[in-house]
């Protein structure tokens, strides 16, 4: 079988992304045909600082963005601009049909901001690029978590939970994640609201679950021959990830960022990845940041998340 072509956006060059790319190229190249969205000038500067030899078959692209001086571990507008341009180049290659998917190495959101980029991250940008309701799902085959709200202040979460948007989210998530068992949906409040004593958002969540179930049943009645319930009722968040509960589910929907990602990263931080669902392209990413504190310091990096992100693309 012919290997898929994957565009790899290089992330913030003041961080660890380029080290991951260089150190793991040989293994990555056994899985896919990678194209790295970095030009030869910046590649050579990075490799020199890292004291790593550039592999002969390390395929790059030119005219990404203006060259700049790499400052390990520093937030800078120049590195932010390059990281964003690298990402845009990867998306262009996918949209033009030159590659099959993209994998993104870590960016620094503040560097994007200092560069004048209006997006808070990759997923926000992808929504705008494709005018689609991209869904952020993180995890590994043992447990995936989709986020209904993502990078917003905690105080705004409750007001963001509405029946229409959550219904659409659950339908899109089910159709694109294709879970093979019931999806665990988390409540928002302690004790899942205790029947309204501690909050009534769970009533809205339940309505959205009922709506989504009805739509999915109408679209594909055979789903119910696989399992009787597509979604749980809103689960009590503080017990939803305990071993006795977790053994029943592989896919979760969390109402906000830390509700889902704190337990996920406590359990599977090293092997987790980020997948953008509900888009016309496939995008995967590492599930960690730029690690400025260890960038260019000769530290041996754990590459499991990066390798898993690329491996996900190779699935049938």
User: For residues 274 and 137, is the Cβ–Cβ distance under 8 A?
Assistant: yes
d(CA 132, CA 143): 25
What the chain holds in terms of domains, given with CATH numbers, is 1-132+279-316 (3.40.718.10), 135-277 (3.40.718.10)
Q: What is the pLDDT of residue 142?
A: 93
**pLDDT > 90? residue 226:** no
State the DSSP string of 163-188: HHHHHHHHHHHHHHH--SSPBEEB-S
**pLDDT > 90? residue 87:** yes
Please, which pLDDT band fits residue 225 given cuts at 50, 70 and 90?
low
Q: What is the mean pLDDT of residues 215-242?
A: 88
**Which token pair is 139?**
């995890």
Distances (CA, A) of 73 to 123, 190, 292: 24, 39, 4
Please, which pLDDT band fits residue 247 given cuts at 50, 70 and 90?
very high
Q: What is the mean pLDDT of residues 202-209?
A: 98
DSSP structural state of residue 131: T
- The percent of residues above 90 in pLDDT, for the chain, comes to 92
pTM for this prediction: 0.89
**pLDDT > 80? residue 171:** yes
Q: What is the pLDDT of residue 227?
A: 65
Q: What is the mean pLDDT of residues 54-64?
A: 96
Please, which pLDDT band fits residue 316 given cuts at 50, 70 and 90?
confident
Q: What is the mean pLDDT of residues 190-208?
A: 94
In degrees, rounded to 5, the angle at the alpha carbon of residue 283 between the alpha carbons of residues 234 and 20 is 110
**pLDDT > 80? residue 285:** yes
pLDDT tens per residue across span 21-46? 999 999 999 999 999 999 999 999 99
Please, which pLDDT band fits residue 212 given cuts at 50, 70 and 90?
very high
**pLDDT > 80? residue 228:** no
Question: Range with the lowest mean pLDDT among 8-22, 71-85, 187-201?
Answer: 187-201
């Amino acid at each position: 079988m012919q290997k898929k072509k994957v565009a790899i956006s290089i992330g913030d060059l003041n961080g660890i992304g380029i080290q991951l790319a260089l150190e793991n190229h040989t293994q990555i190249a056994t899985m896919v045909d990678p194209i790295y969205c970095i030009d030869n000038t910046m590649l050579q500067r990075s490799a020199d600082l890292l004291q790593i030899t550039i592999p002969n078959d390390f395929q790059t692209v030119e005219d990404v963005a203006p060259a700049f001086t790499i400052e390990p571990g520093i937030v800078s507008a120049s590195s932010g601009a390059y990281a964003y341009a690298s990402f845009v180049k990867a998306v262009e290659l996918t949209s033009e049909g030159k590659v099959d998917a993209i994998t993104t190495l870590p960016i620094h959101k503040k560097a994007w901001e200092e560069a004048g980029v209006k997006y808070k991250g990759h997923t926000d940008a992808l929504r705008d690029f494709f005018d689609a309701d991209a869904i952020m799902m993180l995890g590994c085959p043992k447990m995936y978590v989709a986020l209904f709200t993502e990078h917003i202040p905690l105080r705004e979460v409750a007001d963001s939970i509405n029946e229409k948007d959550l219904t659409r989210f659950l339908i899109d998530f089910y159709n694109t994640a294709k879970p093979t068992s019931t999806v665990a949906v988390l409540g928002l409040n302690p004790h899942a609201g205790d029947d309204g004593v501690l909050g009534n958002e769970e009533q809205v969540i339940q309505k959205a679950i009922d709506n989504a179930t009805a739509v999915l049943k109408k679209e594909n009645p055979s789903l119910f021959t696989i399992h009787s319930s597509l979604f749980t009722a809103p689960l009590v968040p503080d017990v939803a990830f305990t071993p006795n509960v977790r053994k029943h589910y592989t896919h979760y929907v969390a109402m906000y960022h830390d509700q889902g990602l704190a337990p996920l990263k406590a359990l599977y931080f090293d092997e987790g990845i980020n997948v953008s669902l509900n888009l016309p392209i496939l995008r995967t990413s590492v599930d960690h940041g730029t690690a400025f504190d260890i960038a260019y310091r000769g530290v041996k990096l754990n590459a499991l998340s990066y390798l898993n992100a690329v491996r996900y693309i190779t699935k049938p």
